[in-house]
Structure 1
Amino acid sequence: MTKLGLPENIAEIWDREIVRVTHDLPDNPLFSDEALTELVANNPDAVREIATMDTSVEDKSRWRASDISPDDPQGLFNAVRSGALWVNIGHVGGRDARYQKLIDDIMDQIDDAVPGPASYSRQIGILISSPRARVYYHADVPGQGLIHIRGEKRIWLYPGHEPYLKPEELERVVTAVTAEEISYDPSYDAAATVIDLTPGTALFWPLNWPHRVVNADSLNVSATVEYHTPKTRRHFAVNYANGVLRHGLGVTPRSRAIGGAGFWGKAAFAYACRKSGLARRLLQSAKGA
């Protein structure tokens, strides 16, 4: 069982503030070079993205796909050590049950400490990134955590409201009109919480909070956690419905409430749009904007 160190007040701060956690995964052989190379060798299609970037500037236009292939795992890892690369291995638990057991164990311990419905749809991903690599300013859709295992990195976390997170930009991410990137201004840094992550540390933060990451001069290995709760699903539903209304129908939403008759109407609308394919058709023009 993974040994976690949870804050004593986790029940009060969960989903309201940044939660700092300690863990013993740096000692887990599942994150050794040999194990990660084997994971990629057995599941090259699990590598969602191999990207490179300009490590000197916060500019999402400098993020681009690399021409390196996951079909040569050893060559990939050698390139990560010497280049400016970010490798995202997704849905790892679905490829190897040992990783799913690990993340379920971690989330079970957190659920036991936090009142309310348990988390579900838990997924673990693995990020392998070069010295000085960076991930530009973005926001994620599901509940999110970052478990740091090897190397050192710095993360900037920003409040999940305007101006740091604009509703129309979040809607574009939720509806997949755009990827996770949202607009960044250096002035936002005055409101950021800046945390240095070292092996054996982890963070969980409130839903959709924007963040960006810069590695220190070391190869980094981290595990990402994605999960849902009834609350996160409600937020997804209302942002999805609002996104279809705003970007597909040209109607400005008036509410982001996750309760009441208005919410349930939007939840039904979002479900119908997704299941019927109507959202895809309505949003097609927005993707080219």
Structure 2
Amino acid sequence: MPDTAMPDNKAYIDWTDEDYNGFGRSVQRLTHSYHTLPIFQQPALITLLDSYPRQHLQAFTMGHDPCRREEWKTVDIPTYATGQDIWQAVEKGRYWLNITGISRFSADFANLLTTMYEHLGERCHHLPAMRSDFGNLLISSPGSQLYYHLDAAPNMLWNLRGTERFWIYPAMDLRFAPKPILKRLWQAKLMKNCPIIRV
């Protein structure tokens, strides 16, 4: 069983006071070393995939054109597929795997998220009582993409392996997310995917 006990989170998040003060207030690119934990190594991830409830394991594939969202397709994971099978498919194919609600099904990840948020809450005084309501783990193929979208709720993305390329748009700039789209999003009448808007 991987050991995620973290007596001193500073070993994993070692930011300056300025970094902590700006957290959640501005766009930041900060370092961490959570990727060194045993639970993020390939054998542990394969074991996690092997036993994870299939109804909480989402898989998608996609095309290469970022403007053709219709090429985003759901992929069924066969019940007989092992964790190794799933890992190899992601490694060799073009897939985006969303392991949802991970703290509900893994005590190791629940402990990790709890201690992570406690650490941030103690140092980010403008964000008291931080907690993770719904933590997901994403595993994606090299070269895969996620289409232009908007998340209604605040969230964080911690990159653990490989390189990610992001496009970040100005907050509340209605050129990129007009009011009708925002209204539908918050009324839950629209998934977080937004129509492609050219400006």
1:54 paired to 2:66:
no
SS at match of 2:167: strand
Unaligned runs of 5+ in 1: 188-289
SS at match of 2:139: strand
User: 127, 134, 140: which is aligned to 1:123?
Assistant: 134
Query: Which position in structure 2 is the counterpart of 1:10?
Result: 19
C-alpha distance in 1, partners of 2:171/2:71? 25
Whichever residue aligns with residue 60 of structure 1, its letter is: R
Write 1 or 2 for the structure with the bigger share of helix.
1
C-alpha distance in 2, partners of 1:46/1:148? 25
Q: How far is the alpha carbon of 1:175 from its aligned partner?
A: 3.0
C-alpha distance in 1, partners of 2:42/2:135? 18
Whichever residue aligns with residue 76 of structure 1, its letter is: I
Residues 1:96 and 1:29: Cα distance change in structure 2 (over 3 Å): same
**1:164-209 superposed Cα distances (whole Å, 9 cap, x missing partner):** 222322332333322210123354xxxxxxxxxxxxxxxxxxxxxx
Moved more, 122-131 or 70-79: 70-79
Moved more, 37-46 or 98-107: 37-46
- The answer to whether the 8 A contact 1:53-1:133 is kept is yes
Q: What RMSD, in angstroms, separates the aligned Cα atoms of the two structures?
A: 2.1
- The answer to whether the 8 A contact 2:56-2:101 is kept is no
C-alpha distance in 2, partners of 1:125/1:46? 14
SS at match of 2:185: helix
The normalised TM-score by structure 1 is 0.59
Unaligned runs of 5+ in 2: 1-5
Whichever residue aligns with residue 176 of structure 2, its letter is: Y
Residues 1:136 and 1:97: Cα distance change in structure 2 (over 3 Å): same
Percent identity (aligned): 25
- The answer to whether the 8 A contact 1:86-1:129 is kept is yes
Q: How far is the alpha carbon of 1:112 from its aligned partner?
A: 1.5
Q: How many residues align?
A: 187
C-alpha distance in 1, partners of 2:29/2:14? 9
Q: How far is the alpha carbon of 1:70 from its aligned partner?
A: 6.1
Moved more, 140-149 or 12-21: 12-21
Query: Which position in structure 1 is the counterpart of 2:180?
Result: 168
- The answer to whether the 8 A contact 1:53-1:85 is kept is yes
- The answer to whether the 8 A contact 1:10-1:113 is kept is no
Q: How far is the alpha carbon of 1:25 from its aligned partner?
A: 1.7
Query: Which position in structure 2 is the counterpart of 1:111?
Result: 121
Q: How far is the alpha carbon of 1:92 from its aligned partner?
A: 0.4
C-alpha distance in 1, partners of 2:164/2:96? 13
The normalised TM-score by structure 2 is 0.83
Q: How far is the alpha carbon of 1:35 from its aligned partner?
A: 1.4
